[in-house]
Chains A and B, each alone.
Chain A
Amino acid sequence: MTPIMPDIQLIAIFPESILAIFACALFVMDPFIARDKKEQLGYFSLAGLCVSGVSTLFLWGKSISTFSGMIALDNYALFFKTLFLMISALIILMSIRYIKIERINLGEYYGLILFATIGMMFMPSATDLLSFYLSLELMSMSLYVLAAFMRKDPKSIEGGIKYFLTGVFSSGLILYGVAFLFGATGTTNLGEIAAFLQENGVTSSLSLIMAFVLLITGFGFKISAVPFHMWAPDVYEGSPTPVTAFLSAGSKAAAFSVMLRVFINAFALSSGNWWPVLWVIAVLTMTLGNLVALVQTNMKRLLAYSSIAHAGYLMIGLITASQIGYAAILIYLVGYVFMTLGAFTLIILLCSANMKGDQISDFKGLARTNPMLGLVFIIFALSLIGIPPSAGFVGKLYLFNSAIQGGFYWLAIIGILNSVVSLYYYFRVVQVMYMDEPNAGTVLSFSPTLKVALGITAFLTLFLGLYPEPIIKAAIDSVQIFL
């Protein structure tokens, strides 16, 4: 018997391979670079991200399925890959100064960010339960370490442990769901699972229902949907701020990217009648996220609850189970990523040797001493609430529009009411920035890279609000795979 050579097209994993080579080289170079020159490794990883990004752009429009149907390269995957590369580059720009202040300027930091990015980039490409699980674990494993990276700070350790325990627990649930899915359908390929379900229906067996419940729970933890959200605020508060930004932007977008693949491709959302489950989760998520955010005094915690609420909005697109709904998720995610990263960049600006800078009271009078910062924060706040002209508005418009077109009027109404609630807590921060007397000891740690990160996020948040056509077109192109 001759072994069958599986068909392997390495071009499909080219951007990830480049990044992996850069990450490995980074770990090799790390011991040879003095402690106070570690930012060179940051620039090195930025170079890797750029090379990988360019190769991703060249692949746009290709449609490849390779590694025996494990990895797919299509517009959907490329859309997310580009997004993750941009997130990662912004995170590194934000980190270079921050990790010096917090005395964690170690080379491993950048390496782990690169490996987490590789995991994220594989997630939207995964068309097999195995590749999906492995990429999820690659991302999570790197993030566990990053969350506990300030190993002298009890809060960071606590955040790391909480993240590790909930993360591993939810991976266990997903894995058990995967096992049952395999048991019910006899295959691990998402396409073949979809074909099987088309024939037999989702409710045809107990194992399928088990698989579905376990997967929903596991993903609920990953995207921090209520009632699986308890870990998010603590982890967000404890982790180093750039890592928090990475968690809230990157890992959430990655979880959504793979969730769309698994639930739409395999479970064929539109054919099932299980949307009431998601409906309840979505409404609970956005309402609880917004209401608890009202009483927060810590900026990172506030953004954690706001990111919980955003996960609720994003689930609207899943519930509508229509092309326009999926496209809306993608559009909203792009806007969400830049406005969240921007808000976290402001927190990092406030972080100095003798101040954490993550309390709302630390923002006192910031707009008076530095009017530009006040303006930039208003852009992010408008976008987070969903007021034009901002990226957040365009995303929300598409999401609520898809809900109304799908006949989910109550969902749209609850979503809009929630946005009104969120206006209060974002503008409380704006009020603190403009109305209160400035703190005497506030030192802003401006550095060129932070300015670049702030500029890019503010520009894109505004630009995508004024001229969203390219993103909308790319998103609609991307979701063509879910026909």
Chain B
Amino acid sequence: MIPLSYYVTVSTMMFVIGLVGILIRKNFLIILFSIELMLNAANINLVAFSHHFGEVDGQVISLFIITVAAAEAAVGLAIIIVLFRRKATTNVDELNLMKW
């Protein structure tokens, strides 16, 4: 039996990797992957806690999160295709039309 704290440690590491990825990476696709990492960190947490308490609530939420993440990826990719058609780039640093 693996103790709960192991799961929480793994999920925290995933969450931090995702967070840092969003903050320092410039490529839209990598940022999208980082966001997925954050969502999946939450999934691991929910499933681990759910197992710990012996309730299914958390697992149900994580199923919904997987669905939402898929929808989110679809919307994000659609938006990036629009950007790529217009500017032929996926670098978010080049989005600098508006400042202050």
Whether the pair B61, A168 counts as a contact (CB closer than 8 A) is no
Q: Are A169 and B60 in contact (CB under 8 A)?
A: no
Kindly state the separation between the CA atoms of A168 and B35 in the bound complex, as whole angstroms.
Answer: 7
Which chain A residue lies CB-closest to B23? A169
Contacts of A151 in B (CB 8 A): 82, 86
**Cβ-defined contact, A133 with B79, below 8 A:** no
User: With contacts A134-B68, A151-B82 known, is A165 near B31, CB below 8 A?
Assistant: yes
Q: Is B83 an interface residue (CB 8 A)?
A: yes
Given A176-B45, A186-B53: A141 and B71 within 8 A (CB)? Answer: yes
Chain A residue with minimal CB distance to B35?
A168
In the assembled complex, which residues on chain B have CB atoms less than 8 Å from the CB atom of A186?
A: 49, 53, 55
User: A168 contacts which of B49, B64, B72, B87 (Cβ < 8 Å)?
Assistant: B72
Residues 78-100 of chain B: 1 if any A CB is under 8 Å from the residue's CB, otherwise 0?
A: 11101100110000100101101
Number of contacts between A and B (CB, 8 Å)? 116
* SS class, residues of chain A in contact with chain B: helix
With a CB–CB cut-off of 8 A, which chain B residues contact A164? 75-76, 79
Given the complex of chains A and B, what is the CA–CA distance between A186 and B45 in angstroms?
12
Question: Would B98 and A234 count as touching, CB distance under 8 A?
Answer: yes
Does B68 lie within 8 Å of A161, measured CB to CB? no
Known A-B contacts A145-B75, A161-B92; A233 and B98 likewise in contact (beta carbons under 8 Å): yes
Q: How distant is B84 from chain A, measured CB to nearest CB, in Å?
A: 10
Give CA–CA (A292, B71) in the complex, Å: 36
Give chain A's interface residue range (CB within 8 Å of chain B): 35 or more
Our pick among B18, B45, B75, B78 for the contact of A179 (Cβ within 8 Å) is B45
A169 touches B35 (CB 8 A): yes
Q: With the chains together, A165 CA to B83 CA distance in Å?
A: 14
If A165-B92, A176-B45 touch, does A182 touch B35 (CB 8 Å cutoff)? no
Q: Which residue of chain B lies nearest to A147 when distances are taken between CB atoms in the complex?
A: B79
Contact B98 A180 (CB under 8 A): no
The verdict on A31 contacting chain B, using a C-beta distance below 8 Å, is no
The distance in angstroms between the C-alpha atoms of A210 and B80, with both chains bound, is 33
Within 8 A of B (CB), among A143-179: 144-145, 148, 151-152, 154-155, 157-162, 164-165, 168-169, 171-173, 175-176, 178-179
Task: Collect the chain B residues with CB atoms within 8 Å of residue A145's CB.
Answer: 75, 78-79
Contact in complex: A154, B60 (CB < 8 Å): no
A277 at the interface (CB under 8 A from B): no
Q: Shortest 10 CB-CB distances between A and B: which pairs?
A: A172-B38, A179-B45, A183-B49, A175-B42, A179-B42, A234-B98, A158-B95, A186-B53, A151-B82, A176-B42
Interface residues of A (CB under 8 A from B): 129-130, 133-134, 137, 141, 144-145, 148, 151-152, 154-155, 157-162, 164-165, 168-169, 171-173, 175-176, 178-180, 182-183, 186-188, 233-234, 237-238, 292
Q: List 6 A-B contacts (CB under 8 A).
A: A145-B78, A161-B80, A175-B39, A183-B49, A188-B58, A233-B98
